[in-house]
Structure 1
Amino acid sequence: MDIRREAGRLADELGAALGERPRLRMGGLGVLDVIVNGAVVFSKKAEGPTPPLSELIARVRRA
């Protein structure tokens, strides 16, 4: 999946689950970060494949 589509999907799914969309940062070479309150809660470049939505939601709620 291309990074822009993945970012859009994540933003939509997280927004629907949480009531607001977190900030996403995209860049070249597979960079995709989910940012909440200024903290990176997921970095595709650092961590690899995107975890399940339930795990991302838990990370956002802990942030």
Structure 2
Amino acid sequence: MLSRKTTYFLLAIAAAGIVLSGCGRKGDLDRPGATTINRKAAPGTTEKKPEAPERPFLLDPLL
């Protein structure tokens, strides 16, 4: 049987893995500024998405 310290350590590691796997920004996986083609539009025409205002994020200085 595992000791109490080992059990707590494994639970802490598992909790940290779950918490850290949820970190990140929600959004597309495309590069910033990449253009997308609207497949419903007529050939030869492109529509741009309206750009969202840039909001600073807590972890931006690390990137």
| TM-score over 0.5 (shorter chain) | no
Specify which structure has the bigger relative contact order, considering alpha-carbon pairs within 8 angstroms and separated by 6 or more residues.
1
Structure with the bigger percentage of strand:
1
With normalisation by structure 2, the TM-score equals: 0.29
Larger helix proportion of the pair:
1
TM-score, length-normalised on structure 1? 0.29
Bigger radius of gyration: 2
